[in-house]
């Protein structure tokens, strides 16, 4: 598959052929339908101090997207092949105090799609099922791709 890869610790990125990832038991594999570019992605491209402190090349970046589920891990129960999903970028560890008290969005050991694990600037992406929000079949993929930043904005003003 084609993917945008931060190949080395320097400015830039490359469009490369890489293997399609295989989902783990608690992951889904999606065919990316739409992806948005975030300020984080610009930091990664420009190789700013922010990126240098977090990114371990080579890796696929990008984290705001929607996609169609094409494969599910054997422990995934709430998502099925064919579902359209939006990706929640923050991967909670599900064990810390914050996660156990329903505050996964401020997980003490949080990882981020496209920063700490391979991201969504690719034809296919492996996403933890906990990070998938099911969308109705008639949702435009472009809208699904911006739900994560939209949610952050709404949360900030409420």
Q: Burial of 98 by CB count in 10 Å (0-12 exposed, 13-18 middle, 19+ buried)?
A: middle
Look up residue 118 and give its two tokens.
């391979």
DSSP for 51-77, written as a single string: HHTT--SSEE---EEEEEEEEE-TT--
φ, ψ of residue 135 to 5 degrees: the values are -115, 160
Residues annotated catalytic, as ranges? 40, 43
Do 89 and 64 meet the contact criterion of CB atoms below 8 Å apart?
Answer: yes
User: Is residue 33 within a helix (H) or strand (E), and if so which, with residue range?
Assistant: strand 27-36
How does DSSP classify residue 30? E
């Amino acid at each position: 598959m084609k993917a945008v890869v931060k190949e080395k610790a320097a400015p830039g990125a490359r469009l490369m052929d890489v293997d399609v990832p295989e989902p783990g038991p608690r992951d889904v594999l999606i065919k990316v339908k739409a992806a948005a570019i975030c300020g984080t992605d610009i930091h990664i491209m420009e190789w700013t101090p922010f990126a240098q402190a977090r990114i371990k090349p080579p890796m696929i970046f990008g984290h705001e997207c929607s996609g169609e589920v094409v494969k599910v891990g054997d422990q995934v129960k709430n998502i099925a092949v064919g579902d359209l999903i939006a990706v929640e970028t923050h991967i909670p560890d599900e064990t810390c105090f914050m996660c156990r008290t329903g505050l996964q969005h401020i997980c003490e050991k949080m990882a981020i799609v496209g920063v700490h694990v391979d991201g969504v600037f690719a034809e296919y992406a492996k996403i933890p099922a906990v990070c998938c929000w099911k969308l109705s079949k008639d949702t435009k993929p472009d809208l699904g791709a911006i739900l994560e930043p939209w949610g952050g904005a709404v949360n900030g003003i409420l």
